[in-house]
Structure 1
Amino acid sequence: MAQFDRRQHAFALTLRALGYLLRYPDAEWRAHLNDVCGTLRDSRVLSGNRLEQIESLAQTIRTADELDAEAAYVELFDRGRGTALHLFEHVHGDSRERGPAMLDLIATYEQAGLTLRGDELPDHLTVLLEYASTQPREAALALLGEVAHIVQRIHGAVDKRGNAYAAVLGALLDLAGVRVDTAGGHAHEPEPDLDAAWEEPAAFDGCGNQGQQGAGQAQPVHVVRRAPAVDSHAAHSAARGERA
């Protein structure tokens, strides 16, 4: 039992650390960066190669001017839908379905005993990872598997830019047991119109109150994607205060 508890604890810490690395890199963030990287090393959940890639990202940010690091983060994650860390941006876009889906996701968090700060949006990947870290390992893995297709897409867009943040997204895919697709080069290609590539799902099935479990138990959260229409044409901006 003790060994199982240590495994659960290490996995939860890894999720939290990866989520932290995807947050806005302000001065407070920098103050904890070394501890976060140490946590990833000590937990021994990720591969040595992946840890090296993440440490390279951390070192790049450590040595960069603070304002430059912040501007680079905004340029990467807030200037294009393909790299947006808000998951519903990839599922609902700007449709009217996004609001109710947000409320359902908040209800899921609240039933797990979690409360969002006023500046947090529930569909931000960092918030979802914080939630996942509070769940049993198997439930957290199932959740990672459900959002893996979105994380894969974000990873591909980030990797095409040759950006080291791809290592963090790749680590999440590693945990989900999903093969990481590499971009096969880092040419910065124009982003497709996300609204054309993604259609609204029929429902965000798992985030309503119906069927939710108690805190500490498996909490179903389903993020689904439909195939684009045959005749669709070629396939985020967030204020700093919206960063989770």
Structure 2
Amino acid sequence: MSPLPATVPAIVRTRLRAAVRRPARLTPEEAEARALLLRLCSLLLQYPDGELAAARSVLTATVGTLPPSPAAEQLGAFTDWFAHRQPEELEGHYVETFDLRRRSSLHLTYYLHGDTRRRGMALLALNQRYRAAGWEIDGGELPDHLPVVLEFAALAGPRAGEAPLRQHRRGLELVHRALTEADSPYRHILAALLGLLPPASEADLRAVAELAAQGPPDEDVGLDPYGSGEFAPPGTFVPPEQAQPTLVPPPSSPEGLR
């Protein structure tokens, strides 16, 4: 897989991390366009610290150059909001939305395995997948943090790279539903991402409805960065017992992309 062209701004340009064969069904241009969409989703879902906030004009301009598509339209709707808010407002909205609401947490294995021992095994398997592709996580985020998963998908390609996204499709559907119910602009990013994946089946939608009503499996194993208690409905804030800072994964930082 070749890096994105030099015409793409540095903040969204990728380095070559692993040699992954492109699926025959995608042309090189289509593969690069898809990787760029996934990389933009990864960046826009990261904590809006000063560095990312300062790059808003670059990100907005990059989204504006995307070929017309439903995903590009959704990202444009998000950047219209993102570009016109004060940094403090962006930071507060992000923390409220993703760090204090378990139904819109960005840690994907939580939705599939909840607070059970299986989640620890799923995290280990995901980290092993990254290493097998020649990719190491050097930041403070867990390997199931959605921006990290999206970064891997952009680098490794639609087959192996996007497999974790397909595996956690139901969790992504639930996050999108929660963001929509909360009227968060971040719903547009999830809508763009879901539009890139295979359509949800009836079984998927039934499972999402059940997950929304009952929550994921529950078993106290000491791996719960989201707090304790019942699965939080939309609008309910559940402060974490041991807060973990939201960090931008180094592979997606502007410094690491130049």
TM-score by length of 1: 0.70
2:186 aligned with 1:168, yes or no?
no
Distance between the aligned counterparts of 1:119 and 1:142, measured in 2?
23
Superposed, 1:56-95 pairs within 5 Å as 56-95=77-116
C-alpha change, 1:147 and 1:37, in structure 2 (3 Å) is: farther
Task: Select the residue among 190, 197, 221 that pairs with 2:215.
Answer: 197
Post-superposition offset of 1:234:
11
What is the distance in 1 between the residues matched to 2:163 and 2:132? 18
Q: 1:97 aligns to what SS in structure 2?
A: helix
Task: Give the structure 2 partner of residue 106 of structure 1.
Answer: 127
Mapped to 2, the partners of 1:147 and 1:75 lie a distance apart of 23
How much has 1:105 moved relative to structure 2?
Answer: 1.1
| Identity score, percent | 31
Q: Distance in 2 between matches of 1:193 and 1:147?
A: 13
Cα gap change, 1:242 to 1:35, in 2 (>3 Å): closer
> 2:155 matched to 1:155?
no
Which residue in the other structure is 1:239 paired with?
244
- What amino acid maps onto 1:150 in structure 2? G
Distance 1:193 1:33, change over 3 A: same
Distance 1:125 1:193, change over 3 A: same
Matched with 2:18 is none
The residue aligned with 1:28 is 51
Match of 1:4 among 19, 22, 27: 27
Alignment-mate amino acid for residue 198 of structure 1 = P
Aligned length: 200
Runs of 5+ unmatched residues, structure 2: 1-23, 202-209, 219-230, 250-258
User: Which residues in structure 2 correspond to 1:207-226 (within 5 Å)?
Assistant: none
Q: Match of 1:136?
A: 157
| 2:138 partner amino acid | R
Deviation at 1:143, TM superposition (A): 4.3
Say whether the 8 Å CA contact 2:101–2:232 is kept in structure 1.
no
Q: 1 CA distance for matches of 2:211 and 2:132?
A: 35
C-alpha distance in 2 between matches for 1:163 and 1:112: 34
Asked if the contact 2:139–2:248 (Cα under 8 Å) also holds between the matched residues in 1, the reply is no
Query: RMSD between aligned alpha carbons?
Result: 3.3
Tell whether the 8 Å contact from 1:53 to 1:164 is kept in structure 2 after alignment. Answer: no
**Structure 1 residue 117 displacement after superposition:** 1.8
How far apart are the structure 2 equivalents of 1:52 and 1:195? 31
Give the counterpart letter for 2:156 in structure 1. Q
SS of 2:40's equivalent in the other structure is: helix
Tell me the equivalent position of 1:13.
Answer: 36
TM-score by length of 2: 0.66
